[in-house]
Structure 1
Amino acid sequence: MGKRGRKKGANGEKRRSLLLHIAAEEFSKNGYHETKISTIVQRANVTQPSFYLYFQSKEEIFKELVNLFHQKLLTLVQQSLLEKGLEKNSLEEKITGRITTIFSFFQEHPDLTQIGFYMANESKEIKSQIASQIEQNLREEQKNGYFRADIDMHTVAESLIGIIERLTKTKLLNGGTKPEKLANEIVRLLLYGMMS
């Protein structure tokens, strides 16, 4: 809980969650430097001293939002590992479902995604860690016979992060494409290529 005593009880947690939600919207819309604590507390209908019961500074609330994004995304990627013994004909559907889950998280939390994936100084490191986890998953899946042994999974993982990052920005967060459609396009491209 840190040095500051956080208010206990349902009301305290609701207020803290509300502050996080509003801060995410403000940071996403206005950027870090243009976001003001005074605006966050005004929108949350709390006093500035109340804000400081939960967060020591603007930097602390921003870092917490970045950490929330990072931990949730890392968990989703860890859970995307394909289990052993799957039928080959079910792989496309399974992989599509796991990538859809990641895109759905981005779509459901656009402000958090904007902050953690694009704005934060840590975003480069977050993407690097996610790529490493994807590579680890792919190597395990390769060992289990799901993918060809001659493919460099580091290249695949880095490519996948690049594809996800760009399509999230250009097609998902602007409402242009649904998570399922994006995931399906990516999986078909990676599994079958572009040749007719």
Structure 2
Amino acid sequence: MGARGRKKGADGEKSRNLLLHIAAEEFSKNGYHETKISTIVKRANVTQPTFYLYFQSKEAIFQELVDIFREQLVAYVQQSLLETGLEKGSIEKEIKQSLMNLFSFFKEQADLTRIGFYMAKESSEIKSQIATQIEQNLRKEQQDGYFRIDVDMQTVADSLVGIIERLTETKLLQNLIEPEDLANEIVRLLLYGMIAN
């Protein structure tokens, strides 16, 4: 709560969430430096003192958005670990579902994705963090016999993050492809390669 105090109850939480939502839109659309607190509070129909009840500064609300993105992204990646004992036939389906869930999150939270994945100074760190988590997942899945043992999973993880980053920016956030179709394309490429059979 802090010394300043905060509005209690549902109204306070609603105002705080509205400020976060509008700030995400403004940062995503206009960039960090061009976004003004005055614009955020005007759009939220609150006063500047109300803004400062919840956030110390523009930097603070931006950082909270980055932290929200990171937390949710890490959760999606952790959930993508394949269970031990899957039948071979269901591995592709499970990977597609995990990727589709991730891309759906990116699409539904497009402003947050632009902020955390591309704009934030921590975006490289966030990508490294998820690459490490993906690598850990892949190594476990490799031990479970799902993938060839001669494949370097660090290379796969870094490649996958690069693919996800680029296609999210160029296709998904441009509304050129749906999450399911993008997941299908990536799985087809990574599991079956490019050489014609």
TM-score, normalised to structure 1, is 0.98
Alpha carbons 1:4, 1:54 under 8 Å: kept: no
3-state DSSP of counterpart to 2:6: coil
Q: 1:56 and 2:56 equivalent?
A: yes
**Alignment of structure 1 residues 15-164 onto 2, 5 Å:** 15-164=15-164
Moved over 6 A (4+): none
> Could you tell me how far apart the structure 1 residues matched to 2:127 and 2:18 are?
27
Whichever residue aligns with residue 89 of structure 1, its letter is G
RMSD over aligned CA atoms reads 0.9
How high is the sequence identity, in percent, across the aligned residues? 73
C-alpha change, 1:3 and 1:177, in structure 2 (3 Å) is farther
Whichever residue aligns with residue 119 of structure 1, its letter is M
| Aligned length in residues | 196
Name stretches of at least 5 consecutive residues in structure 2 with no aligned partner: none
3-state DSSP of counterpart to 2:148: coil
TM-score, normalised to structure 2, is 0.98
Residues 28-76 of structure 1: per-residue CA shift (max 9 Å, x gap):
0000000000000000000000000000000000000000000000000
Quote how far apart the aligned CAs of 1:7 are.
2.2
Name stretches of at least 5 consecutive residues in structure 1 with no aligned partner: none
C-alpha change, 1:39 and 1:171, in structure 2 (3 Å) is same
2:177 — aligned with what?
177
> Could you tell me how far apart the structure 2 residues matched to 1:30 and 1:2 are?
31
Alpha carbons 1:22, 1:43 under 8 Å: kept: yes
Whichever residue aligns with residue 63 of structure 2, its letter is K
> Could you tell me how far apart the structure 1 residues matched to 2:4 and 2:136 are?
38
3-state DSSP of counterpart to 1:21: helix
Quote how far apart the aligned CAs of 1:5 are.
2.9
